[in-house]
């Protein structure tokens, strides 16, 4: 099954609440939504409301923790970052969300190895703590687009292997930007899924958007049609393999590109038939 939806409340949704965002997403013919805490957290009561409305509308929910997190930084940074993920995970649990996606940190003056060591240690501690409280929602570690930021596909896979209850979030544009525009053919997309095959996942959370990049990696997101990622080939790859995937549009024209992706998916289905 392939679900598609917006990151956050659709831009053209007049009422700026997550509840209305879910209903609006359903009306657009989409089937998933990522609830974002970039501008602050919601109450537990609102989380329960979102759960009810998402169930009625058959919208699959995911959560994205606030963006600025550095689990490889000093104690203060780590404490603040852990609290952001902890809070996001609790709300995701109440909502019945499938994943709580998060960024993890950056290298700064540390070696890549030391950055990995700290991030694994902190994510593991957090995961154990959440599990004890009955919060089992998987923590999703996102592939990151800037080369100075922790989160190459290899690094994300390693964290997932070392910490139980952690899954990758495959941000296609970030992988493309970090790899100097590496996604050109269907086989390039296949390599991503092959790289995570060891994790034995039965579902993949994927972020999509167009992206502008240079030799340092990602610069900013652009609409899918303004970027150079051949998403139709990505669609062919997931259809041919029968992958169970949720695509979240993080494009600047959020829901437009979610709907556009649905069209690309339908077109790829037609071509394969």
Closest approach, Cβ 207 to Zn ion, in A, equals 7
Q: How far is the CB of 221 from Zn ion (least distance, A)?
A: 10
CB closer to Zn ion out of 218 and 236: 218
Give the nearer residue to Zn ion in terms of CB position, either 211 or 268.
211
Q: From CA 139, how far away is CA 162, in angstroms rounded?
A: 13
* Residue in the shown chain whose Cβ atom is closest to Zn ion: 142
CB of 64 to Zn ion, least distance (A): 6
The nearer residue to Zn ion, 142 or 218, going by C-beta atoms, is 142
Residues that bind Zn ion (CB under 5 A): 142
Least Å distance between CB 65 and Zn ion? 8
Which is nearer to Zn ion, 60 or 142 (by Cβ)?
142
- State the Cα–Cα distance between residues 104 and 85, nearest whole angstrom: 10
Angstrom distances, CA of residue 229 to CA of 184, 185, 210, 232, 270: 7, 9, 7, 9, 20
Cα–Cα distance for residue pair 96/179, rounded to 1 Å = 34
CB of 142 to Zn ion, least distance (A): 5
Q: Which is nearer to Zn ion, 142 or 236 (CB)?
A: 142
CB closer to Zn ion out of 141 and 268: 141
Q: Which is nearer to Zn ion, 6 or 233 (CB)?
A: 6
Question: Smallest gap, in angstroms, from Cβ of residue 169 to Zn ion?
Answer: 7
Task: Tell me the closest approach of the beta carbon of residue 114 to Zn ion, in angstroms.
Answer: 23
């Amino acid at each position: 099954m392939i679900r598609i939806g917006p990151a956050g409340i659709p831009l053209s949704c007049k009422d700026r609440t997550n509840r209305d965002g879910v209903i609006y997403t359903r009306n657009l013919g989409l089937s998933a939504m990522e609830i974002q805490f970039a501008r602050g957290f919601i109450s537990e009561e609102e989380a329960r409301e979102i759960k009810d409305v998402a169930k009625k509308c058959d919208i699959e929910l995911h959560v994205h923790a606030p963006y600025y997190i550095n689990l490889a930084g000093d104690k203060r940074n780590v404490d603040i970052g852990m609290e952001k993920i902890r809070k996001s995970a609790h709300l995701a649990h109440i909502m019945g969300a499938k994943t709580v996606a998060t960024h993890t940190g950056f290298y700064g003056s540390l070696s890549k190895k030391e950055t990995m060591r700290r991030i694994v240690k902190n994510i593991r501690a957090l995961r154990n703590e959440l599990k004890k409280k009955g919060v089992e929602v998987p923590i999703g570690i996102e592939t990151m687009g800037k080369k100075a930021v922790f989160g190459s596909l290899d690094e994300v896979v390693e964290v997932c292997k070392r910490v139980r209850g952690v899954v990758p979030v495959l941000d296609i544009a970030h992988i493309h930007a970090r790899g100097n525009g590496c996604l050109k053919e269907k086989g390039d997309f296949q390599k991503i899924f092959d790289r995570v095959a060891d994790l034995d996942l039965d579902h993949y959370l994927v972020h999509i958007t167009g992206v502008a990049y240079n030799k340092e990696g990602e610069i900013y997101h652009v609409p899918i049609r303004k970027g150079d990622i051949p998403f139709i080939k990505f669609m062919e790859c997931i259809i041919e393999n029968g992958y169970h995937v949720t695509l979240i549009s993080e494009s600047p024209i959020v829901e437009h590109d979610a709907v556009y992706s649905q069209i690309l998916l339908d077109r790829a289905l037609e071509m394969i038939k």
